[in-house]
Amino acid sequence: MQSMNHKPISARTRELLNTYGLTLKKSLGQNFLTDSHVLDKIIRAAGLSQESGVIEIGPGIGALTERLAGHAGKVVAVELDGRLVPVLKDLFQNHPHVEIIHGDALEVDLEAIIREHLQDAETLHVVANLPYYVTSPILVRLLTERYPLTNIVIMIQKEVADRLAAKPGTKDYSSLSVLVQYFAEAEEVARVPSHVFVPRPQVDSAVARLTLRSRPAVDVKNEELFFKVVRAAFAQRRKTLLNTLHANLLPKVDKAQVEEWLKEAGIDPKRRGETLDLQEFATFVQVIDQKLTALL
């Protein structure tokens, strides 16, 4: 690696951008982190050791990658912007335990990456300062595809971090809250002001840690139906659960029938979807799964 690691991180960022003549792309969410305390917090939250393998999404010009390389046994960094790939390869050329992959984190074959580069890791982590526009799809991918991850530590927009750990009945509780909490325990580990990024984003950020559960928070036989119900329940937050489920999930079933199924699951049909906890969603799914199968 070039002799960048002794410089203050903001000077490092500016110097690298100048040296390589790089302009930042807003469309790719390129807001680079320039605060070493925040980087330390991210590393601490992930709880890395030399036995850890890390997938970093969007390494940019490697500020976080550099820290990860110092704490983990293996780092695989996936960067979409082809202009940054040679820069990263240059920076980490003397670090055989850092692998730079040019690709889209939403599409790369993560299973193959784990098999080829991270097979020997005792614990597997995703650590990233995520481009904000891909936060939800990346989380959905990482969680539903069930990679053997210990945790996911991500810098995300503060509002999204609020949603990840939100409780039923609060304004932040959403289908993403249910999905994340089904697979993981979510917590916010740090608030991060916008001025620690270059360029400064419009919004404040937070570091969230998702600790993967050994099994989902509630028992669900038909997960596909579970997530369909959850999405439908939040599709029209102002409507009652009965109306939104009928309109968005079960339009061909008589509304009185849907009402009965909700009652059978012990749920008042006049409630709003956003008040249901994970167990209530699971119970309702169990009820309708049987009924829908019988109807087919």
Ligand X SMILES: C[S@@+](CC[C@H](N)C(=O)[O-])C[C@H]1O[C@@H](n2cnc3c(N)ncnc32)[C@H](O)[C@@H]1O
Which residues here bind ligand X, judged by CB under 6 A? 28-33, 57-60, 63-64, 78-81, 84, 104-106, 129, 131, 134
Q: Which of 53, 58 has the CB closer to ligand X?
A: 58
Q: Please give the full DSSP string across the chain, using - where no structure is assigned.
A: --TTTTS-HHHHHHHHHHHTT----GGGT--EE--HHHHHHHHHHHT--TTEEEEEE--TTSHHHHHHHHH-SEEEEEE--TTHHHHHHHHTTT-TTEEEEES-TTTS-HHHHHHHHSTT-SEEEEEEE--GGGHHHHHHHHHHTT---SEEEEEEEHHHHHHHTPPTTSTT--HHHHHHHHHEEEEEEEEE-GGGEESPPSS-EEEEEEEEPSS-SS--S-HHHHHHHHHHHHHTTTS-HHHHHHHHT-TTS-HHHHHHHHHHTT--TTS-GGG--HHHHHHHHHHHHHHHHHH-
Q: From the CB of 80, what's the least distance to ligand X, in Å?
A: 4
User: Annotated binding residue at 266?
Assistant: no
Q: CA 96, CA 223: separation in Å to the nearest integer?
A: 40
Q: From the CB of 121, what's the least distance to ligand X, in Å?
A: 20
User: Annotated binding residue at 129?
Assistant: yes
Q: Which of 36, 222 has the CB closer to ligand X?
A: 36
Q: Which of 81, 274 has the CB closer to ligand X?
A: 81
Q: 4 Cβ partners below 8 Å, 6+ apart?
A: 12, 15, 16, 66, 91
Q: Which residue's Cβ has the minimum distance to ligand X?
A: 58
User: Annotated binding residue at 219?
Assistant: no
Q: Which of 82, 96 has the CB closer to ligand X?
A: 82
Q: From the CB of 181, what's the least distance to ligand X, in Å?
A: 24
State both tokens at 8: 């203050």
User: Annotated binding residue at 33?
Assistant: yes
* 191 strand-pairing partners: 206
Q: From the CB of 48, what's the least distance to ligand X, in Å?
A: 16
Q: Which of 117, 291 has the CB closer to ligand X?
A: 117
Q: From the CB of 28, what's the least distance to ligand X, in Å?
A: 4
Q: From the CB of 159, what's the least distance to ligand X, in Å?
A: 16
Q: From the CB of 84, what's the least distance to ligand X, in Å?
A: 6
Binding residues: 31, 33, 58, 79, 104, 129
Which residues are known binding-site members for S-adenosyl-L-methionine? 31, 33, 58, 79, 104, 129
